[in-house]
Amino acid sequence: MPSGHTQQGTEHARPTSPRSLAPIPFDVEAVFPELVGTAREVTLLYPRAGQPGPEESSIGGPLLWPAGEPWPMCAEPDHYKPLSAPVGPEPVAMVPVVQLYARDVPGLVFPAGTDLLQIMWCPLVHEDDQYAANPRLHWRSTALTADGAAAGEPPRPHTVEEDYLPRPCTVSPTPAVEYPNWDLPEGLGELLDERFEALKGERGFDYFEVATTQQSKVGGYPAWTQPPDWPDCAGCGTRMEHLLSITATEPGMGRWLPLDDQDSRQDGAATPSWRAEADPAAFDAFGHDMDLGDLGGMYFFVCRICPDTPYTHRYDC
């Protein structure tokens, strides 16, 4: 995430249509035919500080919540704020992190009878194998939920670790294609390494700049900052599917920066669109303002084989 965020830009009120991106500056599969079959569709979310409503897709915005369902509270005995006094016995209210409507993310597969995905988490560190926020995921029917939606504000946590408290953001779901980075098939990275270097030397751009983007997104490849840690389903043993990522960073330059976020003062002849930097005036609105350890993220996975679409998460920093 860009550093030095302020609350400027929070008047942006509505999500926009998909963003326009610069084209990849080379045909990946023509230059590297060994990568044929590894492309994955991804939906980039591009969170921007704003004021989304419960009827909109968002990161950190209000949720469309059933009136008859209690707001989730975390009563774990060992959650804490680093370098702070003990939290105490009072349960901590969970905070909204993601809300996605099927109409906004056509590439996201919803379980039968649902069209709304919600993720929330306890905004404290938990003494489990992740040592991070503790999330919960809900699939819902918009029609059934809206028919008896809760009014008013949900409970607010009495204490939070600021790294896990997102500022409200609108999203602009944008379809794109990714290629593997950390997840290159075994041995292929070493095989192609010299050709990756040659590409950079001859043409001035790097395969890894266009492969897997580290930003909040649905589908595609997790943008691991540490070695991949794909989970297997506890029920059936199959490797789980990457559902979405919420990451600490959003692109401030290069191939994945939307064209309308680019700095118009740059010399277009000297700076190709896939290398352009962001407009400083827009930069403060980028992202959900969570550090998530450093440059890492929270990655969510689901099993489509088992009933009830079980899920789990991974965290790296």
Q: Is the dihedral of CA 283, 286, 292, 295 positive or negative?
A: negative
pLDDT tens string 189-226: 999 999 999 999 988 888 999 999 999 999 999 999 99
Report the SS3 class of residue 265.
coil
Report the chain's mean pLDDT, rounded to a whole number: 90
Q: Which helix (H) or strand (E) holds 241?
A: strand 241-247
Q: What is the pLDDT of residues 265-297, one digit of tens each?
A: 866 556 777 888 999 999 999 999 998 877 889
pLDDT on residue 6: 34
* Angstrom distances, CA of residue 199 to CA of 32, 204, 269: 10, 7, 21
Cβ-contact 218, 98 below 8 angstroms: no
- Whole-angstrom distance, CA of residue 121 vs CA of residue 58: 15
pLDDT at 151 over 90: no
pLDDT of residue 14: 56
pLDDT tens digits for 233-248? 999 999 999 999 999 9
What pLDDT does 46 receive? 97
pTM for the whole thing?
Answer: 0.92
Q: Which distant-in-sequence residues (6+ apart) come within 8 Å of 300 by Cβ?
A: 119, 135, 137, 242, 243, 244, 245, 246, 311, 312, 313
pLDDT reported for residue 77: 87
Q: In the predicted model, is pLDDT for residue 8 greater than 60?
A: no
State residue 195's pLDDT score: 94
3-state secondary structure of 268: coil
Record the tokens describing residue 54, joined without a space. Answer: 């419960």
- At residue 101, what is the residue type? Y
Query: What whole-number distance in Å separates Cα of residue 137 and Cα of residue 152?
Result: 22
> What pLDDT score does 123 carry?
95
Higher pLDDT pick, 276 / 44? 44
Terminal-to-terminal C-alpha distance of the chain = 13
Q: What is the mean pLDDT of residues 134-160?
A: 93
What pLDDT does 4 receive? 33
8 Å CB contact between 279 and 264 = yes
CA distance 312 to 137: 9
Alpha-carbon span 298 to 312, nearest angstrom: 10
- Which of 1-15, 73-87, 167-181 has the lowest average pLDDT? 1-15
For residue 237, give Cα distances in angstroms to 16, 82, 90, 241, 314.
Answer: 39, 35, 37, 12, 17
Say yes or no to pLDDT of 314 above 50: yes
pLDDT, average across residues 92-117: 97
More confident residue, 72 or 6: 72
* Tokens 């009120």 sit on residue: 13
Burial class (CB in 10 A: 0-12, 13-18, 19+), 30: exposed
Q: Which residue has the tokens 């939920």?
A: 145
Cβ pair 42, 177 in contact under 8 A: yes
Q: Rounded CA gap, 263 and 4, in Å?
A: 18
pLDDT at 2 over 50: no
Share of the chain above pLDDT 90, in %: 77
111-127 pLDDT per residue, tens: 999 999 999 999 999 98
Work out the number of other CB atoms within 10 angstroms of the CB of residue 312: 18
Distance (Å, whole) CA 81 – CA 151: 31
Place 78 in a pLDDT band, splitting at 50, 70 and 90: confident
Supply the pLDDT for residue 130.
Answer: 85
Q: Which two tokens stand for residue 135?
A: 């999330």
Rounded distance, CA 237 to CA 306, Å?
10
